[in-house]
Amino acid sequence: MNKDLRKVVIILAHPKMKDSRANRMLIDTVKDIDGVSVFNLYEEELPFNVDEWTRAISDASAVVYQFPFYWLSAPSLLKKWQDEVFTYLSQTPAVAGKPLLVVTTTGSNAEAYRSGGKNCFTVDELLRPYQSSAIHSGMVWQTPIVVYGTGTGDIAKNAAEASNLYRQKIESLLNSGHTGDSW
Protein backbone atom coordinates (compact mmCIF):
# COMPACT_ATOMS: atom_id res chain seq x y z
CA MET A 1 0.00 0.00 0.00
CA ASN A 2 3.01 2.28 0.07
CA LYS A 3 2.01 4.64 -2.70
CA ASP A 4 1.51 8.32 -3.10
CA LEU A 5 -1.81 9.09 -1.43
CA ARG A 6 -4.12 11.14 -3.60
CA LYS A 7 -7.58 12.63 -3.60
CA VAL A 8 -9.71 9.84 -5.10
CA VAL A 9 -9.11 6.35 -3.78
CA ILE A 10 -10.36 3.54 -6.02
CA ILE A 11 -10.78 0.20 -4.29
CA LEU A 12 -10.68 -2.37 -7.06
CA ALA A 13 -12.05 -5.82 -6.22
CA HIS A 14 -11.73 -8.23 -9.14
CA PRO A 15 -10.27 -11.70 -8.57
CA LYS A 16 -9.55 -12.26 -12.29
CA MET A 17 -8.52 -8.81 -13.46
CA LYS A 18 -6.26 -10.17 -16.22
CA ASP A 19 -9.26 -11.87 -17.81
CA SER A 20 -11.59 -8.87 -17.58
CA ARG A 21 -12.11 -6.72 -20.63
CA ALA A 22 -14.60 -4.26 -19.15
CA ASN A 23 -13.00 -3.72 -15.72
CA ARG A 24 -9.55 -3.35 -17.31
CA MET A 25 -10.91 -0.77 -19.75
CA LEU A 26 -12.58 1.10 -16.90
CA ILE A 27 -9.52 1.19 -14.66
CA ASP A 28 -7.16 1.99 -17.54
CA THR A 29 -9.31 5.04 -18.30
CA VAL A 30 -8.90 6.56 -14.82
CA LYS A 31 -5.76 5.12 -13.17
CA ASP A 32 -3.37 7.70 -14.65
CA ILE A 33 -5.45 10.75 -13.80
CA ASP A 34 -3.44 12.98 -11.49
CA GLY A 35 -5.04 12.69 -8.07
CA VAL A 36 -6.20 9.06 -8.36
CA SER A 37 -4.85 6.09 -6.39
CA VAL A 38 -5.93 2.56 -7.24
CA PHE A 39 -5.73 -0.20 -4.65
CA ASN A 40 -6.38 -3.68 -6.05
CA LEU A 41 -7.60 -5.72 -3.07
CA TYR A 42 -6.40 -8.90 -4.78
CA GLU A 43 -2.83 -7.54 -4.67
CA GLU A 44 -2.94 -6.31 -1.05
CA GLU A 45 -1.51 -8.23 1.89
CA LEU A 46 -3.91 -9.94 4.23
CA PRO A 47 -5.03 -9.29 6.85
CA PHE A 48 -5.71 -5.71 5.85
CA ASN A 49 -3.70 -3.12 7.77
CA VAL A 50 -6.36 -0.85 9.27
CA ASP A 51 -3.84 1.89 10.14
CA GLU A 52 -2.57 2.13 6.54
CA TRP A 53 -6.11 2.11 5.17
CA THR A 54 -7.14 4.80 7.66
CA ARG A 55 -4.33 7.04 6.39
CA ALA A 56 -5.24 6.38 2.74
CA ILE A 57 -8.94 7.05 3.21
CA SER A 58 -8.41 10.01 5.56
CA ASP A 59 -6.26 11.72 2.92
CA ALA A 60 -8.83 11.08 0.18
CA SER A 61 -11.70 13.34 -0.76
CA ALA A 62 -13.72 10.54 -2.41
CA VAL A 63 -13.86 6.72 -2.42
CA VAL A 64 -14.78 4.46 -5.33
CA TYR A 65 -15.62 0.76 -5.20
CA GLN A 66 -15.02 -0.88 -8.58
CA PHE A 67 -16.02 -4.51 -9.03
CA PRO A 68 -17.85 -7.00 -11.23
CA PHE A 69 -21.30 -8.04 -10.06
CA TYR A 70 -20.86 -11.62 -8.77
CA TRP A 71 -24.08 -13.32 -7.73
CA LEU A 72 -25.72 -9.91 -7.47
CA SER A 73 -23.02 -8.51 -5.18
CA ALA A 74 -19.31 -7.72 -5.08
CA PRO A 75 -16.54 -10.33 -4.92
CA SER A 76 -15.98 -11.60 -1.39
CA LEU A 77 -12.72 -9.73 -0.78
CA LEU A 78 -14.55 -6.39 -0.88
CA LYS A 79 -16.88 -7.68 1.83
CA LYS A 80 -13.82 -8.79 3.83
CA TRP A 81 -12.34 -5.29 3.42
CA GLN A 82 -15.61 -3.76 4.55
CA ASP A 83 -15.74 -6.04 7.59
CA GLU A 84 -12.11 -5.49 8.59
CA VAL A 85 -11.51 -1.89 7.53
CA PHE A 86 -14.69 -0.02 6.68
CA THR A 87 -16.44 -1.06 9.89
CA TYR A 88 -13.69 0.77 11.78
CA LEU A 89 -13.55 3.73 9.37
CA SER A 90 -17.32 4.21 9.51
CA GLN A 91 -17.00 5.08 13.19
CA THR A 92 -14.37 7.77 12.57
CA PRO A 93 -14.28 11.11 10.75
CA ALA A 94 -12.16 9.46 8.01
CA VAL A 95 -15.13 8.84 5.69
CA ALA A 96 -17.70 11.37 6.90
CA GLY A 97 -18.87 13.72 4.17
CA LYS A 98 -16.91 11.97 1.43
CA PRO A 99 -18.58 10.72 -1.75
CA LEU A 100 -18.84 6.96 -2.30
CA LEU A 101 -19.18 5.89 -5.93
CA VAL A 102 -19.81 2.31 -7.04
CA VAL A 103 -18.62 1.31 -10.52
CA THR A 104 -19.71 -2.19 -11.49
CA THR A 105 -20.06 -4.50 -14.46
CA THR A 106 -22.74 -7.07 -15.21
CA GLY A 107 -22.75 -9.96 -17.64
CA SER A 108 -26.41 -9.42 -18.50
CA ASN A 109 -28.02 -6.58 -20.43
CA ALA A 110 -29.89 -3.83 -18.60
CA GLU A 111 -33.24 -5.50 -19.40
CA ALA A 112 -32.31 -8.36 -17.05
CA TYR A 113 -32.16 -5.89 -14.15
CA ARG A 114 -35.77 -4.83 -13.76
CA SER A 115 -38.97 -6.10 -12.25
CA GLY A 116 -39.97 -9.03 -14.42
CA GLY A 117 -36.46 -9.35 -15.85
CA LYS A 118 -34.13 -12.31 -15.49
CA ASN A 119 -32.67 -10.93 -12.23
CA CYS A 120 -35.99 -9.49 -10.93
CA PHE A 121 -34.42 -6.36 -9.41
CA THR A 122 -32.74 -3.20 -10.65
CA VAL A 123 -29.03 -2.70 -9.99
CA ASP A 124 -29.98 0.27 -7.79
CA GLU A 125 -32.08 -2.07 -5.65
CA LEU A 126 -29.28 -4.63 -5.46
CA LEU A 127 -26.77 -1.95 -4.46
CA ARG A 128 -28.89 -0.78 -1.49
CA PRO A 129 -26.53 -2.36 1.09
CA TYR A 130 -23.66 -0.22 -0.27
CA GLN A 131 -25.86 2.87 -0.29
CA SER A 132 -27.05 2.11 3.24
CA SER A 133 -23.49 1.68 4.54
CA ALA A 134 -22.51 4.98 2.90
CA ILE A 135 -25.43 6.80 4.50
CA HIS A 136 -24.88 5.11 7.88
CA SER A 137 -21.25 6.23 7.93
CA GLY A 138 -22.03 9.80 6.85
CA MET A 139 -20.76 9.44 3.29
CA VAL A 140 -22.46 10.98 0.26
CA TRP A 141 -23.88 8.31 -2.06
CA GLN A 142 -23.18 8.89 -5.75
CA THR A 143 -25.21 7.59 -8.67
CA PRO A 144 -23.54 4.26 -9.60
CA ILE A 145 -21.90 3.69 -12.95
CA VAL A 146 -22.95 0.34 -14.39
CA VAL A 147 -21.58 -1.42 -17.46
CA TYR A 148 -24.28 -3.80 -18.62
CA GLY A 149 -23.84 -6.66 -21.04
CA THR A 150 -20.20 -7.62 -20.52
CA GLY A 151 -21.16 -11.18 -21.42
CA THR A 152 -22.73 -10.08 -24.70
CA GLY A 153 -21.59 -8.78 -28.06
CA ASP A 154 -22.14 -5.22 -26.78
CA ILE A 155 -19.20 -5.33 -24.36
CA ALA A 156 -16.88 -3.01 -26.33
CA LYS A 157 -19.53 -0.34 -26.90
CA ASN A 158 -20.94 -0.51 -23.35
CA ALA A 159 -17.49 -0.46 -21.71
CA ALA A 160 -16.33 2.46 -23.87
CA GLU A 161 -19.41 4.54 -22.99
CA ALA A 162 -19.06 3.75 -19.28
CA SER A 163 -15.32 4.47 -19.35
CA ASN A 164 -15.98 7.97 -20.68
CA LEU A 165 -18.61 8.52 -17.99
CA TYR A 166 -16.24 7.15 -15.32
CA ARG A 167 -13.45 9.51 -16.38
CA GLN A 168 -15.83 12.48 -16.33
CA LYS A 169 -17.10 11.54 -12.87
CA ILE A 170 -13.57 11.12 -11.44
CA GLU A 171 -12.52 14.47 -12.92
CA SER A 172 -15.67 16.05 -11.47
CA LEU A 173 -14.90 14.62 -8.03
CA LEU A 174 -11.31 15.89 -8.25
CA ASN A 175 -12.29 19.35 -9.47
CA SER A 176 -15.16 19.90 -7.09
CA GLY A 177 -13.41 18.56 -4.04
CA HIS A 178 -16.78 16.78 -3.91
CA THR A 179 -20.00 18.40 -2.59
CA GLY A 180 -22.53 15.75 -3.13
CA ASP A 181 -24.03 14.03 -6.09
CA SER A 182 -24.16 16.50 -8.93
CA TRP A 183 -25.54 13.88 -11.34
pLDDT at 177: 58
- Sorted by sequence, the CB contacts under 8 Å of residue 67 that are 6+ apart come out as 12, 13, 14, 23, 74, 75, 78, 102, 103, 104, 105
**Contact, 59 vs 12, CB < 8 A?**
no
**Contact, 35 vs 174, CB < 8 A?**
yes
pLDDT at 2: 41
| Residue pLDDT tens, the chain, 183 long | 544 445 999 999 999 999 999 999 999 999 999 999 999 999 999 999 999 999 999 999 999 999 999 888 999 999 999 999 999 999 999 999 999 999 999 999 999 999 999 999 999 999 999 999 999 999 999 999 999 999 999 999 999 999 999 999 999 999 875 444 433
CB atoms < 10 A from the CB of 42, how many? 12
pLDDT at 6: 58
Angle between the 155-176 and 21-30 helix axes, to the nearest 10 degrees? 30
pLDDT at 133: 97
pLDDT at 176: 75
